[in-house]
Structure 1
């Protein structure tokens, strides 16, 4: 295989793999998916000779359109990783059809590198990590081959419009040396990268670029912040992991297992209007975590045994998103600075900002709230505006031997009434993944209870809350996840998008809420338990590997670094000083430091400008001399047979200019003498093999050169 073909293949493979990595990280981008597809099509067509480069005017037009589209995107959504990488992807697609010189291939390599960086910023999954590791040897090989290819291009045999490819074959020794150098760079780079990964201080300068390096949107998790019953469709069955959960008791024993479910609360929805449940607008208690690893203590209700949950969100942005925990959380601990909001009325949590996007790990300690002494009574004014719903609720409660009228019913019977309604829904209604849209003129809950009688968990939870409210029992819908898929090897739950769930909480006493799930238990287990097929087992194995990747590589945070370098805490002190320095510079609280840094920055900027000017002048001098024809490159020693050929040409009236390649010159000198021209070309061929290949003329070639020189001298 020739040098040119190997180089082209490596460069296009690098660009295509970068496009594939970004497409997997940004799955909704059509531009990203086009890159690997077009790279493969272009390479196959190019190698078969069926592909031609686009004319320059078409390249410029396509690049202008790409720039215009990207400017419009920047204007509408702002500058972020997604918009910038889509611009790079469009330019890369154009450059795939504009491969003429080594410079064009270098641009493809550079675009691939930046696109790979964008994919890492967008996704830190195992697949992204594997593709990044595959990219590294390809990148090193592409850069090494580029040096050889560019040098070969500079010594093309003929510098005319008919110029062919650079010399095709590298000597075997050169191939071995190039492969050894590439392998050496790869090994040394891997060692240095591992050392930097372990030693680099975490968190220094995080968030300094603001939203520019943040993802354009939050990752889709399947969790919803509102329940819209009027919207039809199907419940997500995506197996995409959302979080990993490890559950322990107060003694540190793992209490998870197959058949044990945990309801992870995300948000409570207590306002119902027009077929939609929303969270009630209430004041929030805001807490900001300043010291990494220090617990955030929340109001503690009277409770029993604690439940310790170690949660790792697979993807999380820098904006606002809900946190998930079972029961009522009383304490939280993070391994990074976090801005947190806590809603005391329903014991739910949300992040209001963090410095970086990516996985988020936290530990939540929760308790089952217990009634306080004297905590009795019922929240007044609870109702649901539907005669049909109230009539059905009264019928269900009477059938259970309970009083439907809240004014005459004992408060302790509210819990029994809610249980009777839950049991009725489980027995009399059918579960389905399809979410049917009700007629526009009918309330969705009333339609579900009186006509349709089948639906998903959102309908079951909504109906239970509405039936309870209609007889004076305060109830609300809860949106979150059901942790049901337990991995015994890892000792934790895998929670996926398909595990998004809705259930209800009923107020047993003022401020004391109990969980109810009216979804039929058999259907609930079928929906949320993992499949038992071979593919499902392979998927669980992959999930275990991905969790190890996320936990050991992506989640290598300050605390893990501190444990690795525990005998040498000086590194952590350096990290603290660096972080303090960055904070002082960002806030401007130290004017003297800012002035010193400003002086250094101006000095460095001036040095860069001077160095740039010197480089421009250095390059401009030879360019001017070439234009004026006064360039005098140092001459390498010439073989005697070549000097004899040049003297013969000079006597014939064809002295060779310095800027003319030897083969082009002899072709012009003997344009009308085919035999003499062929003899001169053979002499130049021996010269090229001697000069560029390091091959001295053999005895047979020396005899042939003498004969060819005689033929050139005899030519008239």
Structure 2
């Protein structure tokens, strides 16, 4: 195959790979199916047996249509999402231009255009995706693009020389194309040059990546949502009691988290699930029938500068046991940072500042990129008067803020605190009477006008147990007439629904008797990955629960009214060998995000310190410990995975199948090498070997027939000498061997073709030899 023809194939492959990468980054499988099919068909239409490019006027009309489509996408985008719409629209535009160029008549100018457009499309895809799969595709694309560009240089040079030769020739039509290179092994020279250039480019890219990491104050609004305009599925900063989740949600990972206590990883498969709170919703709108965060609460949001060493949100007594979570938020579809209730410390070198609200303790990011790494800590046991100390601590960090001066006004806080997260607006009298009757059964009661009572904690537990024991959990919410409130229907009629209704029902009953209660949305962390030692939280793990203020000295506490068994069943990870493979893949993607996507100044410093430590010789003891840890990891790997008997059986069968495949492949390679030696083709270029091997297959058939009857040709003996030796021993029997060997020499060294006459003679000689060998054996 000529290098020029190879360039056309690689250019076509580069365009298709770019289309696949962009559609995957934009999460648009429909576009991948349509554009990929149309693009793949271009090779047959233009390069097939009867291939003809489209007329120029057709491609011009198509280009105008692509421009129109881009304008429609740009101006049809929703407000506030324009940056993503622009990237996606430009990506679609470049994609259709490439497809049009594939169908058109291509000179070097068109090839240059299509290659440049393909690179621009990959840049757009890189803006949209931080997936490890896309990273692998991008690496393959870079290798393919490098080879294609080098071949394009050969082609353009060859075309220029051919053009000059035709201009100087007396008969331009007889001018032949020059060879790109001269000398034996030029293909290996080209491959060596490609590898060398690729390694140099990789070294430069890695050096630039390490030396110039993502800045601490990076703000990339384009990655704030995905390319299709959807915010992150599952979690929401609003809860509609009328809508139904309808399904368990997607399996796409949202975040990874490790939990530490006293610098020890306390995660595990057999531990109870963790609740990671995101949004605290204190207002119920009886018109929209949805929970949201009130404007008065939003007014108490503060902006806190975040130095590299982190910020203490509240001072804790000395030696207070705390839990620390290291969170990798894979892709941000909102500004919420997930944490446990009552955070005391936050640190992230990826953020220059965080938003914090001392009223509902919600953490938000103000300048986050698509992937985010942060650390948050909280006390094991709730601290007394912690909300008041939050306000004092925040004041020391943001004393120059107007919002802070308002927050420090004690009268403002007193009036706000009494009304915050209280009162139920829908059929309050009915809900209050219903709640008081339930409490009376347990010997409890509460004055709805009182802000706090000594029995608030016991009341909250009674209400929580009431929902856990007397209501049915379902993945779908019941249908409710438009004139009815879903929470009221849930409490008095249906008594079944999803976690949003359970949380709404508990909050409604608690607020109807004067307690402060808010609905919290976040995630359940229950899927533990033993390979990496962290929890994987997916979109399907979204959950809603309630926080209730149980009084001074006890502060806000978490209460989950959803039946624990149903919650565990819904969020239980899948088991079996597929889960093991998923854990390995998740860990690889987790390492990709932490090491590449979220690479920042802190990560860079760790890399540079490691390099310096290695150059200086390191510590021999540390090296021994490192090897010991690796050995312990592989030793304990079966215990980490805890596979059942069926999973181990399946895994064993897979390993055996892989071993058989590798052995079979090795055998094929050995046989192929032996056949090349027998045909004396080892010194030829690989491209010529294939064609000659096919044409000389008859000679291998002859050798197989002879070997079955005990006649082996030594590796040192030439084919002609072997045939002559057999003929001298028995001319009548082995004359066909001499004839077949002569044809072998004609094709192998005489460059003759395997025409019809030679095929007939070969068939006749093989039959004659077979009959002679059979008669001899008989």
Q: TM-score, normalised by structure 2?
A: 0.66
Matched residue, 1:661 = none
Matched residue, 2:487 = 445
Structure 2 residue corresponding to 1:122, chosen from 116, 124, 128: 128
Instruction: Provide the secondary structure at the position in 2 that maps to 1:220.
Output: coil
Q: Which blocks of at least 5 consecutive residues in structure 2 are unaligned?
A: 389-413, 613-778
Q: Residues 502 and 162 (structure 1 numbering): CA distance in 2 closer, same or farther, change over 3 Å?
A: farther
Does 1:184 find its partner at 2:184? no
Residue pair 1:464, 1:504 contacting (<8 A) in 2 also = yes
Q: Return the alpha-carbon distance in structure 1 between the equivalents of residues 47 and 181 of structure 2.
A: 19
Residue pair 1:42, 1:51 contacting (<8 A) in 2 also = no
Structure 2 residue corresponding to 1:311, chosen from 312, 327, 337: 327
Q: Return the alpha-carbon distance in structure 1 between the equivalents of residues 454 and 66 of structure 2.
A: 68
Deviation at 1:418, TM superposition (A): 1.9
Q: Return the alpha-carbon distance in structure 2 between the equivalents of residues 206 and 538 of structure 1.
A: 34
Deviation at 1:199, TM superposition (A): 2.2
Q: Return the alpha-carbon distance in structure 2 between the equivalents of residues 253 and 438 of structure 1.
A: 49
Q: Return the alpha-carbon distance in structure 2 between the equivalents of residues 470 and 127 of structure 1.
A: 51
Deviation at 1:538, TM superposition (A): 1.4
Does 1:385 find its partner at 2:398? no
Deviation at 1:243, TM superposition (A): 0.8
Q: Residues 397 and 205 (structure 1 numbering): CA distance in 2 closer, same or farther, change over 3 Å?
A: closer
Structure 1 residue corresponding to 2:595, chosen from 552, 557, 560: 552
Matched residue, 1:663 = none
Q: Return the alpha-carbon distance in structure 2 between the equivalents of residues 141 and 373 of structure 1.
A: 62
Q: Residues 194 and 394 (structure 1 numbering): CA distance in 2 closer, same or farther, change over 3 Å?
A: same
Q: Which moved more, 1:160-169 or 1:521-530?
A: 160-169
Matched residue, 2:664 = none
Matched residue, 1:256 = 267
Matched residue, 1:712 = none
Deviation at 1:9, TM superposition (A): 1.9
Q: Return the alpha-carbon distance in structure 2 between the equivalents of residues 543 and 271 of structure 1.
A: 37
Q: Residues 85 and 204 (structure 1 numbering): CA distance in 2 closer, same or farther, change over 3 Å?
A: farther
Matched residue, 1:97 = 103
- CA deviations on 1:438-473 (whole Å, 9 max, x unpaired) are 210110011122222221111111111112222222
Instruction: Provide the secondary structure at the position in 1 that maps to 2:249.
Output: coil
The count of residues paired between Structure 1 and Structure 2 equals 560
Instruction: Provide the secondary structure at the position in 2 that maps to 1:441.
Output: coil
Q: Return the alpha-carbon distance in structure 2 between the equivalents of residues 34 and 391 of structure 1.
A: 60
Instruction: Provide the secondary structure at the position in 2 that maps to 1:552.
Output: helix
Does 1:321 find its partner at 2:327? no
Matched residue, 2:630 = none
Matched residue, 1:269 = 281
Matched residue, 1:477 = 519
- CA deviations on 1:659-710 (whole Å, 9 max, x unpaired) are xxxxxxxxxxxxxxxxxxxxxxxxxxxxxxxxxxxxxxxxxxxxxxxxxxxx
Does 1:295 find its partner at 2:306? no
Matched residue, 1:593 = none
Deviation at 1:201, TM superposition (A): 5.1
Residue pair 1:233, 1:436 contacting (<8 A) in 2 also = no
Does 1:344 find its partner at 2:374? no
Instruction: Provide the secondary structure at the position in 2 that maps to 1:435.
Output: coil
Residue pair 1:323, 1:349 contacting (<8 A) in 2 also = yes
Structure 2 residue corresponding to 1:198, chosen from 186, 210, 229: 210
Deviation at 1:330, TM superposition (A): 1.8
| Pairing 1:43-54 to 2, within 5 Å after superposition | 43-49=43-49, 51-54=51-54
Instruction: Provide the secondary structure at the position in 2 that maps to 1:382.
Output: coil
Higher helix share: 2
Q: Residues 548 and 396 (structure 1 numbering): CA distance in 2 closer, same or farther, change over 3 Å?
A: same
Deviation at 1:30, TM superposition (A): 4.8
Q: TM-score, normalised by structure 1?
A: 0.71
Deviation at 1:202, TM superposition (A): 4.1
Deviation at 1:94, TM superposition (A): 2.0
- CA deviations on 1:282-328 (whole Å, 9 max, x unpaired) are 2234224364x1312324477953221111110137xx611110021
Structure 1 residue corresponding to 2:572, chosen from 529, 541, 562: 529
Residue pair 2:158, 2:179 contacting (<8 A) in 1 also = no
RMSD of aligned C-alpha atoms? Answer: 3.4
Instruction: Provide the secondary structure at the position in 2 that maps to 1:451.
Output: helix
Matched residue, 2:411 = none
Deviation at 1:65, TM superposition (A): 1.8
Residue pair 1:290, 1:338 contacting (<8 A) in 2 also = yes
Q: Residues 288 and 394 (structure 1 numbering): CA distance in 2 closer, same or farther, change over 3 Å?
A: closer
Matched residue, 2:605 = 562
Q: Return the alpha-carbon distance in structure 2 between the equivalents of residues 93 and 315 of structure 1.
A: 31
Matched residue, 1:42 = 42
